[in-house]
Structure 1
Amino acid sequence: MSRERAYAWTDPKELAEAAQHHDGRDFFARLVKAELPAPPINATVGMSLVEAVDGRAVFELEPMEWHYNPIGTVHGGILATLADSALGCAVHSNLPEGAAYTSLDLTIKFTRPATIDSGLLRCEGRVVSMGRRTATAEAEITDPTGRVIARAIASCLIMRRGS
C-alpha cells in the first residue's frame, strides 16, 4: 500500500543571510525561538533543533516509516544527517558574527538499530576543540532510555571574514 508525505520549507537564502549578521549564540537563540525559519533539511528529514549554545547543540528526531532502509530500520544516512547537524551547529554556536564553517569529515559508529519503536531520538553534539581554522566535535544519538544508537565525531573548517 502506497503512502504519501508532504512538507513545506522557506527560502534558505533568508537564513543564510541572517547567519552572516549574528554571532552563533544569537543566531541559534533566534532559531530556537522560531524568529528565523528552520533550514530546509529539518523539514526534509523531520528533525528539530532543541538547543544550540556555548559549543553544544541538541537535535531531536522521531523515527518514521519514511526513514526506513530496506531491512526495516532507520537508514544510517538519516542518523548521520542528525549527527552532522548537531556537530556542525555545536561548532557554529561558538562562532563570531560573519564567520562560517563547513564539515571536513564525519565518522559515525552505529551501536544499535533505530526503529519507530525506539521513540524520540536525541542527538547532542559538543565541541571538543576549537582553533582558529578548525574545530572538532563529538556527538551521541540516544533513545529515550539513554541507550546509545550511534556515536559520531567531525572536524570543521572555520571560515572567517577576510581570511
Structure 2
Amino acid sequence: MRQRSYEWSDPRILADAVTGMDGIEFLKRIGTGDLPPPPAAQTTGIVPVEIGDGWARFELEPAEWHYNPLGTVHGGILSTLADTALGCAVHTKLPAGTGYTSLDLTIKFTRAATVDSGLLTCEGTVVTIGRRTATAEASITDGSGRVIAHAVTTCLLIPSG
C-alpha cells in the first residue's frame, strides 16, 4: 500500500483576507506565500504559477493518487484544475468586496493524462465580464504541449454587503 499525507492552513485566514483586497492582489499574495494556499490546493496538488490581469496559470504534477480505476488521471481532478484557473482568471478582474461562484463548467477531454504526461499546465482567460456575470475559457496541456482538455465557465459575480 502507498500512503500520502499533507497539511493545510486554517481556511479562515483566506476568508478574512479576501474581503480587504482586490482579486489580483489576493491571488498574487497566495502565489508569493504571503497568504497560505487554500485547502483544496493542498489536497489536489494544484499550484499557482502566474497571475495577470484577466488570466491565471496553474500547474499539476500527475501522481498515482490522482488516478481513476482505469489508470489515468481522474476527470474530476482535471476539472478541478480547469475550474481553478477559470475562476481565478475571473477573480483577477474583481474589485475588493466582490466575490464569485461558478454557475457552470463545461469541459471536453481530448486525451488521457498519466504520470508519464509530465507537468500539466492550465491557463484560464477571461472572455467577458459584466456587472453580474463573467465568462472564461481554459486549456490544459501536458509536458509536450498537447491539449489534454479545454473548458469554459460562467461565473456569477457577487457584491458583498
- TM-score (norm. length: structure 2): 0.98
Q: Which amino acid aligns with 2:126?
A: V
Q: Is the 8 A contact 1:53 1:94 kept in 2?
A: no
Q: Give SS of 1:145's match.
A: coil
Identify which range, 22-31 or 62-71, moves more after superposition: 22-31
Q: Which runs of 4+ in 1 moved over 2 A?
A: none
Q: Is the 8 A contact 1:91 1:127 kept in 2?
A: yes
Q: Is the 8 A contact 1:118 1:143 kept in 2?
A: yes
How far apart, CA to CA, are the structure 2 residues paired with 1:65 and 1:15?
A: 29
How far apart, CA to CA, are the structure 1 residues paired with 2:81 and 2:2?
A: 24
Equivalent residue number for residue 38 of structure 1 = 37
Q: Give SS of 1:154's match.
A: strand
How far apart, CA to CA, are the structure 1 residues paired with 2:157 and 2:44?
A: 25
Q: Give SS of 2:27's match.
A: helix
Equivalent residue number for residue 91 of structure 2 = 92
Residue correspondence of structure 1 range 2-151 to structure 2 within 5 A: 2-151=1-150
Q: Which amino acid aligns with 2:55?
A: R
How far apart, CA to CA, are the structure 1 residues paired with 2:94 and 2:16?
A: 15
Q: Aligned residues: percent identity?
A: 63
Q: Which amino acid aligns with 1:125?
A: G
- TM-score (norm. length: structure 1): 0.97
How far apart, CA to CA, are the structure 2 residues paired with 1:90 and 1:129?
A: 11
1:146, CA displacement in angstroms?
Answer: 1.1
How far apart, CA to CA, are the structure 2 residues paired with 1:30 and 1:67?
A: 27
Q: Is the 8 A contact 2:118 2:144 kept in 1?
A: no
RMSD between aligned residues? 0.7
Q: Which amino acid aligns with 1:101?
A: Y
